[in-house]
Amino acid sequence: MTDTTIKATHPVLIFWIIAGWVGFCLLPWFMVEDGIWSFVWLVDGYPFDEDHAPAAFLIGQGEKLWLAPLLVPLALPLLILGKPKSDPQYARILILAGALGFGWLITQGFSIGIRGFNFDWMKALFGEPKIRQFGMGYGAMICATAFLFLLTQGIAARGSINGDVFVVSAIGGVITIVTVFVFFPIAKMLFAAFVTEDGAYSVSVFASKFFDDRLWGLGCFAGAKCGAAWNSLFLAVLVGFITTVLGLCFALVVTRSGFRFKRGMRALTVLPIITPPFVIGLALILLFGLSGSVTRFVAEIFGVQPTRWLYGMPGVLIAQTLAFTPIAFLVLIGVVEGVSPSMEEAAQTLRANRWQTFKTVSLPLMRPGLANAFLLGFIESMADFGNPLVLGGNFDVLSTEIFFAIVGAQYDQGRAAVLAMVLLFFTLSAFYAQRAWLGKKSYTTVSGKGDAGVHPLMPRGLAIPVLGIAVAWAVFTAVVYGMIIYGSIVELWGVDNSLTFKHYVTAFSVRFEEEGIRWTGAAWDSFWTTITIAGIAAPLTAAVGLVTAYLLTRQSFAGKNAFEFGTMLSFAIPGTVIGVSYILAFNVPPIEITGTGVILVVSFIFRNMPVGVRAGIASMSQLDKSLDESSLTLGANSWQTFRRVILPLLRPAILAALVYSFVRAMTAISAVIFLVSAEYDMATSYIIGRVENNDYGLAIAYSTTLIFVMLAAVGMLQILVGRVQIGRRTQLGAEKTT
């Protein structure tokens, strides 16, 4: 094997050289209006029509001559065909070609826009010739990819990371896409905060927007309104605190009590995964709104005038607490179970009673987990968009203010950018605190060795209130979810309480005709779009996530910590911020994808990437590193090792990453609401639209359907993964018997 790879040119290199030429000579260079997959462009003047022509034909006709220099880096790699990898020329030429090509592509892309030169100094320098171009299309994209991987192969040939082409290419690829789709939009947004109305940059504009009273005002102490920043912060702290306490109660009940319905409580952990974020808000309206059932009941008995108390801080607080308690529960159950029972048993043998053991050993050991749950609740509350939108009333929070700054009558991109910066600052601080302060401070002891001990029960004085709180909250949650289903089959809530399937029919009716099924329901369009987009995004998300996880757990390279921080960062970036920054960044060339389905897919990939990364890291760190090493010493290269050893062993993690990214894509609203278009409407934004028209019945019916679809997806995952694990368990059983 060694001889062949050394003498002949590597097939991967040949592939990328050909890909570069294909992108340049065959595929349309610019964005094609009807989408590349319609293939309308093939019959519409290709390859000579200016809009659909490949770069080579454009140059041939004397158009877009600034693309001509790309021929040099395209031709350069041809020189080294047949040269051995160890030849110093090999690495040098590849690096040169890759860097030149990639650099030139980017430079020209940013310099020349729809209206000619983007920068004034260029106009001054070159005059104002009649040149312009649209966003890059598949030709340009494949060309850029080819240059990137030529560059990484050059770097690998120079001996970086043991000359491993796969690893260097993977690192290069991940860095590039994260830069393009996370850092670039965020940077663009930050710049937008300094732009005045006539397009100049000014600090004072930023300052006036930043020190706005609507942002930092403290009027609420004097009876007026407080600024959105304070509102968000206050709400997030409160939600973080309450969800942590409730989550701890649940975790304690499940692990340290004799409560009979523990298993049922565990089911709570599934809820946040399958619930679209605003659904809880809707259910609360059905219960406590002006015509809500509880409101009416109370009004009749006590003769109190119904009020709109729900709309504002109390409603948002209740909704978010309901929505995020299961997340805290999920985090804390791991922590509470992770405290080694033998520590607690040791404390008991040292003459501490149960209460003293809990207070002096168990609780302190859980402290980092508690802080972690708090920060998660804080970040989630800050980023939440659906509930404040539905229930916020006059209570302004950052995420909704951003939305109204862009979508409302004020249309102020600068203000949206400033608000987004403030929001980003809060969430990133929490994210940073979580990583820097808690990252290494975990006392949970999950060693490979079996810990035979059992957790002691809670002391009685603690058990009763904890159990009470947990059961009460669980019942409340159940009632709220019950209301969702009930609300979907009521004619008109609070006015006409007769039962009907009308809403389902409106949304999901089908007609069987001769030509086949006709999807006549109002919701089908957005439903199929959602399924398609989520279905495209899920495998891509899982792939990017797993490759990143592989790099993080299995490879060491310079700048790995920064790399890790960068890839996990998108977890802390609220969806609204992503939405705003994508609009600002991708509305103009070189990457012009707003209004397409591509931007939705891309936003899902980078919103949900941390899910895939975490799933991958969790299961990869359980695979002994010697498995990789033995594969390498047996002559497999790192790509073959990844494909034949790591991936097969990661099957459960891959499935989980697939399903979760699919489900999360279906429930996402915050980023989506900025990015949808008439052609690509998503289920969640459609529902929000119904809510804004006070069409609650349809909205709730649609939400219920979504919940059941996602429940089915998660259930299928459980069955599939369960099978994989059972298969493994029998093997272990067999091992014990031999």
Question: Backbone dihedral region of 372: left (phi > 0), alpha (psi from -120 to 50 degrees) or beta?
Answer: alpha
Contact call for residues 248 and 309 (beta carbons, < 8 A): no
Residue with Cβ nearer another protein (441 or 729): 729
* Least distance from another protein to the Cβ atom of residue 159, Å: 6
Distance separating alpha carbons of residues 193 and 113, to the nearest angstrom: 21
Residue with Cβ nearer another protein (164 or 592): 164
Residue with Cβ nearer another protein (111 or 637): 637
Question: Backbone dihedral region of 161: left (phi > 0), alpha (psi from -120 to 50 degrees) or beta?
Answer: left
Q: Is-cis flag, bond preceding 276, omega within 30?
A: no
Crossing angle for the helix pair 460-487 and 279-288, to the nearest 10 degrees: 90
Contact call for residues 244 and 373 (beta carbons, < 8 A): yes
* Least distance from another protein to the Cβ atom of residue 558, Å: 12
Contact call for residues 326 and 269 (beta carbons, < 8 A): yes
Residue with Cβ nearer another protein (95 or 215): 95
Distance separating alpha carbons of residues 280 and 245, to the nearest angstrom: 20
Q: Which amino acid is at 342?
A: S
Coil, strand or helix: which one is 496? strand
* Least distance from another protein to the Cβ atom of residue 88, Å: 13
Maximum distance among all Cα pairs of the chain, rounded to whole angstroms: 92
* Least distance from another protein to the Cβ atom of residue 35, Å: 40
Residue with Cβ nearer another protein (343 or 720): 720
Provide the CA 678 distance to its chain's centre, in angstroms: 23
* Least distance from another protein to the Cβ atom of residue 315, Å: 51
Contact call for residues 510 and 517 (beta carbons, < 8 A): yes
Residue with Cβ nearer another protein (61 or 162): 162
Residue with Cβ nearer another protein (164 or 384): 164
Contact call for residues 377 and 240 (beta carbons, < 8 A): yes
Residue 702: closest CA among 496, 462, 530, 445: 530
Express the helix, strand and coil content of the chain in percent, nearest 5 each.
Answer: 70, 5, 25
* Least distance from another protein to the Cβ atom of residue 458, Å: 39
Coil, strand or helix: which one is 117? strand
For the record, the structure tokens of 622 come out as 């359980």
Beta bridge partners of 226: 218
Residue with Cβ nearer another protein (447 or 626): 626
* Least distance from another protein to the Cβ atom of residue 738, Å: 5
* Least distance from another protein to the Cβ atom of residue 197, Å: 53
Count of CB atoms situated within 10 Å of the CB of 484: 19
Residue with Cβ nearer another protein (532 or 637): 637
Distance separating alpha carbons of residues 277 and 289, to the nearest angstrom: 18
Q: Name the residues that contact another protein, by CB under 8 A.
A: 1-2, 4-5, 159, 162-164, 624, 626-627, 629-638, 640, 644-645, 648-649, 731-732, 734-735, 738
* Least distance from another protein to the Cβ atom of residue 4, Å: 7
Residue with Cβ nearer another protein (442 or 640): 640
Residue with Cβ nearer another protein (394 or 731): 731
Please state the three-class secondary structure of 680-734 as a single string. CCCHHHHHHHHHHCCCHHHHHHHHHHHHHHHHHHHHHHHHHHHHHHHHHHHHHHH
Residue with Cβ nearer another protein (159 or 439): 159
* Least distance from another protein to the Cβ atom of residue 616, Å: 17
* Least distance from another protein to the Cβ atom of residue 436, Å: 21
* Least distance from another protein to the Cβ atom of residue 541, Å: 24
Contact call for residues 656 and 541 (beta carbons, < 8 A): no
Q: 493 CB contacts (<8 Å, ≥6 apart)?
A: 286, 291, 487, 696, 697
Residue with Cβ nearer another protein (158 or 455): 158
Contact call for residues 242 and 469 (beta carbons, < 8 A): no
For the record, the structure tokens of 96 come out as 């040169």
Q: 504 CB contacts (<8 Å, ≥6 apart)?
A: 488, 489, 701, 705
Distance separating alpha carbons of residues 91 and 17, to the nearest angstrom: 15
* Least distance from another protein to the Cβ atom of residue 86, Å: 9
* Least distance from another protein to the Cβ atom of residue 171, Å: 16
Residue with Cβ nearer another protein (441 or 728): 728
